[in-house]
Structure 1
Amino acid sequence: MYSLKLFRTFSNFMHNVTITFRRKKTSLGLWHEDVNRDIKIKIEKYWSNEVLHREISNADPVYYVLPMFPYPSGNLHMGHVRVYSISDALTRFHKLNGYKVIHPIGWDAFGLPAENAAIERNIPPYKWTKSNIERMKQQLLQLGFEFDWTREISTCNPHYYKWTQYIFLKLLENGLAYQCKAEVNWDPVDQTVLADEQVDDLGCSWRSGVKVEKKLLTQWFIKTTKYAKKLLDGLKDKSLENWKDIINLQRHWIGDCDGTVVTFKLNVDGTMKLFDVWTKNPYKYIHGNFIVMKSSHPLLQGHTYNSGLSCLNPITDSEMPVYICDTVEYPEGRDVLIACPTQDETDNQIAQALQISIDQVNKKDIAIESDSLKAIEIATNKNVGGHFVSSKLKDWLISRQRYWGTPIPIIYCPKCNIVPVPYEDLPVVLPELDTHSGIQTLQSLDNWVNCKCPKCHSNAKRETDTMDTFVDSSWYFYRFLDPKNEFAPFNKEKLKNSTPVDIYIGGKEHAVLHLYYARFMSYFLNSLGMTYVEEPFKKLLVQGMVMGQSYKVKSSGKYLPPENVEKVGEIYKEKVTGEPVLVQWEKMSKSKYNGENPERLLESYGCDMTRLLILADVPPGTPRRWSDATLPGCLNWQHRLWMTMREFLKYRANNFESNSLSPEEFKKIENKIWENRNYFTATTTYHFRDTQKLSVGISRLQSLTSTLRNNIPPEVYARSKEFELALAALIIMASPITPHFCSELWAGLLSAPHRISSHNSTINWENNVLEQNWPTVDDHYKLSFLCKVDGADRCELKIKAAELNNLHEERALQVMLNEESVQKWTRRGVLRQKYELYPGCRAILHIFTNKKQKQVEEV
């Protein structure tokens, strides 16, 4: 038992702690109370201004943290909480490391969900969207996320979509936007066209879930296929970090770019129409004898045709016969082929089957390789194709027939045909609606549709299709860097030192389509000289889905609320009927009754605990099975941190003296604390900075907390410099996860008398925790230097941090080759090596000794 006098001294000190001299906010001084929900809510309210509204640093360099911007549905779900908790933690981490961090937010605000919701409520979509944005913005603020709201953008704002229209016109100028008749996927529920990418393997719409229908419509496309080979090769770019299986997903989507496309002209009923011809053998564009086309080809629908069809070959400027046949084996995803029977046996068999007479030509007269190059060169010079692409990859269909989207800036004139809207007339603004009681299209709005031709001033009509929302989101990461620009989409100079995006965070469901479109747009804008780099994103962090436990009646598949289910032994049953119930983890959904409401968590535990709960235990890239099982561990950690600060302040207030520890024992405890502080600083830094496994970093901080609580005598609290430094490091490193709570802990630390390490240069005792420098290991602390030979661990050395941080690859290889344990495995010689230095954390040298092991995936 400690004396009553000591307790009274401590209590008086706690009572007066809020008036302790401090340049900035002082502690609330509630250390004598046990931390609970009410105290944490008080702390969050007290520190919210500092946490949310810190001044933007003018530091250099810049670090761009970009979470995928949300669709404004009106309420945050746990997926939102997870992605923005990750991005916010990384933002705060990099700020502590001296970066000026760009962490913007905006709204992917166009699209069918908002329009359908507006129809249900009989209100205009912009009103519904605006109210949702206001609601979600307030929720994000409640969670304490440190977004740069000065960069806020919304894709449904004319100030934004003006520049989407501008980019469309640039695509049109460069032959990358075009209109043609095509068989398209029609969603009969949402009454709009879907791109092939928006139809699942079962032929159902990605939005409504119904079976799509096929229709023949004239639509707008973006020729993404022209960039296919560049986008495929770009996946080898050494600047890309942590793309992992996303590279394979992108490669699979793009396919092997083993053929070329050339645009021919088909003569149908005296009208020339454009169509693409793909082949693996470009020489056929010069020496081909005929074209074969499926009868279902869109250009043939609604027309009479016979064996007299012909097309214009732009490579030879000559006519070629076209034959209709449905029994030919066409290239995957294609309904046209070009045949050269004199060089290709398969083509010869097709000619025989179609009874086509071909003049025999000596094969030696054709230089296949050089003629292939010649054909590609002609196609490129004439701008009729020649680009390499897989047979299955299609151009991007962007036309949508619904109201709520970016209007396509095109005018149709009976005299001038297709006329782009002049740049000075942008934006083409959506007309406002008073209500929205049913599916509405721009086509029905005569006052908006009817206009004058910009060229001849005749009566004309506007394009009534709007753009796919993927167009809006294909370039927003550049607009964030210059969101107020009224003269261009963005100023190139604003992109300097900020692009590519350092880390892009979002769900795996966007790892194919959105990422493919965004990469294409970035390559295109770079080709115009508008950007500095082609690849838009340096590092990807694809977070796993948040899953909830669902209950489904086994016989019918009906989902049940949890309260309608009971567990009998090891079996789950419906309470009313007693029918067996299947229990499984699925994506959270209202219809499955397995969702979690973030507002309930905020109300029950506060924002810091909500963020901690979503980040702890499971790395960001792993699916998160949401349950309350994580709660006790997180609550206990906060409780231990609170108790540690309480005891630290109590013993420091009295400058506790005791003879229970000898100098040797005191020093031994200090050495242990020093060792643990450095170890956990190195490993936490590694997982926050390099692996982004925030949950592992959190567990390291929990371990450091245990170091400071397990069997630590009072005199160590009172007189140990190492304890004080370790406690300071712990609070700083925990602050990206729980910034409000750590702000209060830090204020408590600053209020403590008898600080021993005030002279320490790494800590600015005049500033709050969010303005500190991230802790680093001491120069003489020894870090791990690991050598892997052909993928297996062979040697681990311990090297002082100051030396390891300056160890370059050549010297690293020399050091390891001097080790007997490495020499044993490198007698066959070193084929190649890869050196990974993680400053202040560790280093890994990979040595490969044979070609087989060259295929080993390097970690």
Structure 2
Amino acid sequence: MHYKGLYSSKMITRLLANKFIQHISTRHMSTGLNLWEHDVNPEIKHKIEQHWKHKLRDDLFNAHDHSKEKFYVLSMFPYPSGQLHMGHVRVYSISDTIARFYRMRGKNVLHPMGWDAFGLPAENAAMERGLDPAAWTEDNIKKMRVQMDRLGCSFDWECELATSNPDYYRWTQELFIKLFENGLVYRKEALVNWDPVDQTVLADEQVDDNGCSWRSGAKVEKKILNQWFIRTTAFAKPLLDGLNDPELKGWRDVINLQKHWIGECNGLSIDCRLVSDDPSYPKTITLWTDKLESIEDAKFVAVSSGSFLDKIEGSKDPNDVFKLLNTRAVNPFNNKMLPIYVTDAIEYDLFTDSHIGIPTSSDTDAELCKTFGIDFELKHKLSSSQIEEKRAEILKKATDLNIGRYPVSSKLRDWLISRQRYWGTPIPIVHCEHCKVQPVSRDRLPVVLPKLNITTKSGKSPLLQATEWLETKCPKCGGKATRETDTMDTFMDSSWYFMRYIDSKNNTDMFSKETAKEMLPVDLYIGGKEHAVLHLYYARFISHFLHSQGLVPTREPFQQLLVQGMVNGQTYRVQSTGKYLKADEVEKKGKNKFVHKESGSPVVAAWEKMSKSKYNGVDPADIFNEHGTDMTRLIILAEVAPTSPRNWSTLTFPGIIKWQHRLWLTIRNFIQGRKALTPEQLDTIPNEDKFVEQENILFDARNYYIKGVTKNIMCTRQLSVAISKMQGLTNSIRRSAPDVIAQGCEYERTLAAQVIMLAPFAPHFASELWAGFCSAPHLTSNKNIREQEIQWDKGVLQQNWPEIDMEYKLNLNVVVNNVEVMSLEVPRYVLENMTSDDAVRYTIESPKFQAFLKNWKVVGATFHAAQGFDASIEISTEKPTKELEMQETEV
């Protein structure tokens, strides 16, 4: 709202309420460096960060404080490589900014950190250096903690965990046993993906489209091994349906990726016994079909050439058909022997290399039976009700036989968790000669990894070397038994870590049900898109399972996702050879033309994921050392939305540097302006027209930018836009005249809001600005108004997040027949108290809407109430959309 001339009565009231003339700099919790006579530069920024590093006070999570609403913000925990990269800097800057924002909004915020510490990289690195993987991992964790502290993150280190710690993996083993007891863990001989470099098994999900290992890049081989599986297909349908949960926010394309991964659950995977003279064949074959009602009419099995049953030598013409003479598949529903043919002449179901032939349900199968010389009898077609009845009967049989009981797509497989490596969670199973496979007794958990000196990769589990560790007793009969030597896939460790954070000191359970009910689901989960399928799928599965056990309150573990984009660096490659060059080996010729300095060969410049081998990596320590922590955080968060790729370039630095300089000058001018005033001047309320006008402009600017910054952090998570809004607020502040800077109440409120909103993004710099702001003589408020808005005796991170004034006008957006036609300005105190009927009445009776409506008839309305921001009302009329658009153009 803008006033012309002298103050209105409302403005006078507001200014009188703000009129106090007290020096209270001594009440501030900590003084700053007081270097305001200097221009801010990198040296001063470093001094500021050193000064405030141990003085920043964040109200970290308090498990006993039930007076505040919880907010659980989680960033994906890292593998402890020992070195932060720019991707880490981005994700943790995002999560820390949001965590601090919600603390200032009055939430009880949990913002934990831990380490995904098991896995091949540590084992391989330790093997190369002759070190213990545990020592290697612990040393890297210490290094990365120091770097995270350098980044200024306010993590709840009390919750810290490492998946390689027995105190953690004891509960991963407990989770395995829970799954085992519920029939969701099994061991079978299967054709598996073998990484010849890392000498271990890979799940299907860990092999890329080119048939190469996701980690080593080696061409994957096929082996038949006895392996442990988790029956994730048991929850395929619930996991698919869960993606339609309206509570999920920000999942966007991740939902499509997950749906594509799970597939349409319209069939059944059936384990059929193989009868064969060939000892190299596994004992079962898994066949998928969506013709359950006719499965008892199956006449043959077909497998593609190149499948694990294909031992035929000679021609591989797609039209050739070979019959396996020594092998049959047993139909488990009638125990009939099914001949097996190797052929590529049929179209196999998606992601399968086998097919069960049912001629009564498929014309193609009927023709194949004729080709193979197999007799069959056509039957009357079943009605819809008969089909459903028969399918239910077959599903029950499959369940009773434990050969396949859940609707699933042809593409989805159970989770293969066996790994023939050392550095992983031991599978809590023993093998007894009499009792066969038995889970370890819970009172014997954890099964702790033995100390081993691993020097080579043998293709077998290194745990086979631990002869003393291998020998144990059967938990059932007490006789001699041998421990399982496979360890678990590390995705098992990360499938539930976010649940352990909420109760990390619990020594009797994975976590308490009561704590889970209070703290889960995670409100905001932040991480890279590379985990959008595997990790999220496994974490969702575990959450669905534990919910079925009554241990967690919701099926879906993560309410909102923020999938941050990659941090890219510029690369240079010789056009003819593809060889990567260092930046100093390249010369720029024209706007977008580059050549190799030495040879003059054309060079292709591109933005790619940072990598040492591409010479485009950036060490965060170098940025910290040159520009400081807060500058680094602002750079990584500015200009580009968190979900978009970030092309790292020094060309973006000057804008942030200049903004910091303007903020520094603004506080300096404020201090100087206030200190130059006499007590009489401090006690005077100017009433000149220009002064009043500028104060009113600041009132509008403060509210406008508080609204914009808050909405872009809390609703859209567009932190880059929030920074842009704050820069706009700085520009508004700096347009103020000297007398407004010195004596303006609205100026003081606006400047305070500016520094407070900066704090989550740049906590050290904002703390110094706040110390300077509080050191100046200022106009304090009466206890009922201003003491609630600015707490002068507390640091900037203990301030309440600025609120939009109740008299400030927000928008009531009017949508007619799905077209937004206008916005009505409504004071916040009116808008927030509107009922649906109030909103309809207010809209229809407004002159602006009346002019638009003319003689149209309103036939329906839906009001979406304001929640600190704008509201909207959707109105339906009898006029068609075409006429509406014409009317809108006229308006």
Q: TM-score, normalised by structure 2?
A: 0.88
Report the more deviating stretch, 424-433 or 651-660. Answer: 651-660
Tell me the residue number matched to 2:6: none
Q: Which residue of 1 aligns with 2:102?
A: 94
What is the match of residue 535 of structure 2? 514
| Distance in structure 1 (CA, Å) of the matches to 2:386 and 2:40 | 83
1:635 matches 2:646: no
How has the CA–CA distance of structure 1 residues 489 and 282 changed in structure 2, closer, same or farther, with 3 Å as cutoff? Answer: same
Distance of aligned partners of 1:403 and 1:827 in 2 relative to their CA distance in 1, 3 Å threshold? farther
1:548–1:594 CA contact under 8 A, matched in 2: yes
Q: Which residue of 2 aligns with 1:580?
A: 602
Per mean C-alpha deviation after superposition, the further-off stretch among 503-512 and 54-63 is 54-63
Q: Is this contact kept in 2: 1:203–1:211, CA < 8 A?
A: yes
Q: Which residue of 2 aligns with 1:47?
A: 52
Partner of 1:281: 291
SS in 2 for 1:106: coil
The CA deviation at 1:769 is: 1.0
What residue is the counterpart of 1:22 in the other structure?
Answer: 27
Q: CA RMSD in A?
A: 3.0
Aligned to 1:35: 40
User: In 1, Cα distance between the equivalents of 2:716 and 2:214?
Assistant: 33
Q: Is the 8 A contact 2:528 2:566 kept in 1?
A: yes
Aligned residue type for 2:340: Y
Change (3 A) 1:107 1:758: farther
Distance (whole Å) between structure 2 residues aligned to residue 184 and residue 266 of structure 1: 17
> 1:666-745 alignment to 2 at 5 Å?
666-710=691-735, 712-745=736-769
SS in structure 1 at match of 2:734: coil
Superposed, which structure 2 residues align to 1:31-430 within 5 Å?
31-51=36-56, 54-56=59-61, 58=65, 59-268=67-276, 273-288=283-298, 291-292=301-302, 298=308, 306=325, 309-313=328-332, 316=333, 318-326=335-343, 327-363=345-381, 367-380=386-399, 383-430=402-449
Q: Which residue of the partner structure matches residue 797 of structure 1?
A: 824
CA distance in 2, matches of 1:306, 1:795: 77
User: Secondary structure of 2:814's match?
Assistant: strand
Contact 1:278 1:337 survives alignment (8 Å): yes
**Counterpart in the other structure of 2:316:** none
How far apart, in 2, do the equivalents of 1:791 and 1:625 lie?
37
* Distance in 2 (alpha carbons) for counterparts of 1:812 and 1:622: 37
Equivalent residues of 2:759, 2:797 under 8 A apart: yes
Structure-2 residue corresponding to 1:856: none
Instruction: Give the Cα separation in 2 of the matches to 1:310 and 1:706.
Output: 77
* Contact 1:18 1:28 (C-alpha < 8 Å) held by counterparts: no
Q: Percent identity?
A: 47
Give aligned pairs, total: 830
- 2:799 is aligned, of 759, 766, 772, to 772
Q: Give 1:628 shift.
A: 0.9
Which amino acid in 1 is paired with 2:467?
A: D
Contact 2:811 2:870 (8 Å CA) reproduced: yes
Q: CA deviation at 1:299?
A: 7.4
- Residue aligning to 2:868: 840
| Pairwise CA distance, 1:395 | 1.2
**One-letter amino acid of the structure 2 residue matched with residue 412 of structure 1:** H
Question: Is contact 1:18–1:29 with CA below 8 Å preserved after alignment?
Answer: no
Rounded to whole Å, the distance in 2 between the matches of 1:266 and 1:435 is 38
Q: 2:451 aligns with which of 425, 432, 443?
A: 432
- Cα distance, 1:778 vs structure 2: 0.7
Q: CA-to-partner distance for each residue in 1:737-782, whole Å, 9 max, x for gaps?
A: 0111111111222222232446413222221111111111111111
Q: Is the 8 A contact 2:303 2:309 kept in 1?
A: no
Three-state SS of the structure 1 residue aligned to 2:519 is coil
Structure 2 distance, partners of 1:64, 1:750, is 32
2:513 paired residue among 492, 495, 501: 492
Q: Is the 2:60–2:110 Cα contact (8 Å) retained in structure 1?
A: no
CA distance in 2, matches of 1:836, 1:298: 59
Q: Are the equivalent residues in 2 in contact too, given 1:61–1:497 (CA < 8 A)? A: no
In 2, the alpha carbon distance for the partners of 1:668 and 1:278 equals 75
How far apart are the structure 2 equivalents of 1:163 and 1:67? Answer: 21
Higher relative contact order (CA 8 A, sep 6+): 2
Which residue pairs with 2:778 in the alignment? 754
Rounded Cα–Cα distance in structure 2 between residues aligned with 1:96 and 1:74 = 32
Q: Residues 195 and 81 of structure 1: is their aligned pair in 2 closer, same or farther, counting only changes over 3 Å? A: same
Amino acid at match of 1:556: T
- Whole-angstrom distance in 2 between the partners of 1:63 and 1:54: 13
Q: 1:168-218 CA deviation, whole Å, 9 max, x = no partner?
A: 111111121111222222111111111111111112211111221222222
Please tell me the residue identity of whatever aligns with 2:423: W
Report the CA distance between 1:823 and its aligned residue.
5.3
Post-superposition shift, 1:328? 3.9
Provide the C-alpha distance between the structure 1 equivalents of 2:135 and 2:582, rounded to a whole number of angstroms.
Answer: 33
Per-residue deviation at 1:529?
1.2
Deviation at 1:798, TM superposition (A): 1.4
Q: 1:844 to 1:649 in 2, by over 3 A?
A: same
* Comparing 304-313 and 340-349, the one that deviates more: 304-313
Say if 2:621 is the partner of 1:599.
Answer: yes
Supply the distance in 2 between the matched residues of 1:342 and 1:226 (Cα, whole angstroms).
29
Which stretch shifts more, 448-457 or 157-166?
448-457
Flag structure 2 segments of 5+ consecutive residues without an equivalent.
1-21, 313-322, 882-891
Counterparts of 1:353 and 1:52 in 2: how far apart (Å)? Answer: 79
Give the distance between the partners of 2:468 and 2:854, measured in 1 at CA: 83
Contact 1:724 1:757 (C-alpha < 8 Å) held by counterparts: no
For residue 887 of structure 2, what is the aligned residue in structure 1?
A: none
Q: CA deviation at 1:20?
A: 4.5
- Residues 1:646 and 2:668 aligned together: yes
Moved more, 48-57 or 352-361: 48-57
Is residue 635–residue 653 contact of structure 2 (8 Å, CA) maintained in 1? yes
